[in-house]
Amino acid sequence: MTFAGTGAGLALDFPSPPVGSVVEDVVTEEAGVRPPQGASLHVTALVSEGEVVARGAALACMRHAPDICFVAPIAGRVARLDLMPGRKLSEIVLFREAAQAVAQHDTGRADAGVAGLRHLMQVSGFWPRIRRRPFGGMPGQGEAPAAIVVMAADTRPFAPDPTRAIDGQDEEFARGLAALARLTDGPVLVVCCRDAPVTLDRGLGEGRVRLTPCGSRHPQGSAGIRIHDLFPAALDLPVWDLNAEDVAALGTLVETGELPMTRLVTIAGAALREAGMVRTHPGADLRQLTQRRVERGPHVLMSGSPLDGHVAQWLAPRHRQITVLPREDAPARPHWLIAALTRSARADPVIPTAALTQALAGALPATPFIRALSAGDDETAMKLGVLSLLEEDLALADYVLSQSGQLTTELRVMLDRIQTEYAA
C-alpha cells in the first residue's frame, strides 16, 4: 500500500500477475444462485429438482413480494434446491444444458407507466441487482428512491473498468438511464473516473441525469463514499446504487424483453500464474474459471476484491472480481496462560493517521467517525454520514488499521440497530 501523490484515497499494490486486455467468453458448466452475503431472504420456490429451465427463468420469488424473482443465470437443469428453515434461500445449483433457451418478458406494460416498469424489472430478475442505502439489500417492492447513483467507476484493486464493460452499448446505456429516471423524482448521478477512456456524456441527455467525475484512487470509486458526497442517504431518503453494466442490461431488457446475464469479470491474485478477464455470468463456478490459471499448492478462492471479497464457490450477485490467494497455515495456538497474558481483553485503540483519513477519501472526519462507530454512538454516526455506508466502504479503513473486519462488523451492528430502533 502506498500513498497517492495528490488527491484523496490510496494507491493499493496487491501482488498478482498482470491482467491482460484479452477477454474470454465463458459459460460455466455449473452455476449457483445464492442470496447476497449476509442477507436472509424468505422465498417461495418456483421450480423443483430435475426441472430444465431457460436462461432468465424464475427459480424462486420473495415470499411476501412475489413479483420479485431470482432467475437462472444459465439455461440448465436444477441440480439442487436448498432452503433453510423458514424457507430462507440457501442455494440453487444448476447444471448447464446444451439447449440455450432464453426467457422473454412482455415489455408492453413497462412502456405504459412506472408500475409496469417496476413489474418488468422485478419479474425479470433485475431488481436484486439494485442496492439501497441506508442498511443495504435490495429496495422494497414499491420503494421510490430520492436519488439513484450509477457507478461507472470502480477503484478497488484489480477491478474491471465499468466503462469498458459497456463500450459499444451507448444506446442501451442511455435507454437504461431513461428507465431509471422514471423511477425517481430526484437526480440520476453517473459516477465516472476523470481519466476514463470512454465518454459517457453522449448518452446522458438533458434534465436530471448528470455525469459526476471522481478520482482513480480507492475509495473514491466506492459507491458509499460517492453517495455521501453527492446525495447522502437518510432514513426517509433512500438512495439506490447499481453498476453501469447493469444499466445497459436494463436498457436491453426494456427494448427486447430479454435480460442479459453477461458481465465483465477480472481474475487476479497472488496464487495465480496467469491473471485475466472473462465475460461470464452471475453465479459462475469459480473453480472452472480459475482451474487453468492457479499455481500449484493450496489456495483460497474469493468472490470479490482482496479488500472486501469473501471465500465462495460461486460468483456473488454483484461481484465483478475473482481473487485467488495462497492459503496460509493457521498459526499454532499458544498456551491459554500465555494468550491471557499477551492479548488485550479490549480491541486495540484506533490511532488517527493520514492513511486512515485517506482510507475514507477525506469524505468523512475519520477520527470522530471511527470513535462514534466504536462507541456505538448512533446519533453522532448518523450526523457524520453512516447511513450512506455499507461494509465495502469501510474495507480499506479496516485494511489500513489491520483490524481484521472489526470496523465493518461494528458498522453492520450499528446499521441493524438503527434499522430496528428508528426505521421500524
Per-residue pLDDT of the chain (424 residues; tens, 9 = 90+): 333 334 689 988 899 999 988 999 999 999 999 988 777 899 999 999 999 999 999 999 999 999 999 999 999 999 999 999 999 999 999 999 988 899 999 998 888 889 999 999 999 999 999 999 999 999 999 999 999 999 999 999 999 999 999 999 999 999 999 999 999 999 999 999 876 655 566 556 557 899 999 999 999 999 999 999 999 999 999 999 999 999 999 999 999 999 999 999 999 999 999 999 999 999 999 999 999 999 998 999 999 999 999 999 999 999 999 999 998 866 677 776 676 666 555 556 666 688 889 999 989 999 899 999 999 999 999 999 999 999 999 999 999 988 667 899 999 999 999 999 986 5
Distance CA 195, CA 201 (A): 14
Return the pLDDT at 263. 96
Return the pLDDT at 106. 92
Q: Residue 112 contacts by C-beta under 8 Å, 6 or more apart in sequence?
A: none
CATH code 3.40.50 region(s) in the chain: 104-258
pTM: 0.92
**Cell numbers standing for residue 351:** 490511532
What is the DSSP-derived secondary structure letter of residue 73? Answer: S
Return the pLDDT at 330. 62
Burial of 101 (0-12, 13-18, 19+ CB in 10 A): middle
Q: Residue 338 contacts by C-beta under 8 Å, 6 or more apart in sequence?
A: none
Return the pLDDT at 112. 80
Q: Which CATH class is domain 104-258?
A: alpha beta
Return the pLDDT at 38. 74
Return the pLDDT at 2. 38
Return the pLDDT at 349. 61
- Residue 202: how many CB atoms within 10 A of its CB? 11
What are the E-state strand segments in 166-294? 188-193, 209-214, 239-243, 263-268, 276-280
Q: Residue 383 contacts by C-beta under 8 Å, 6 or more apart in sequence?
A: none
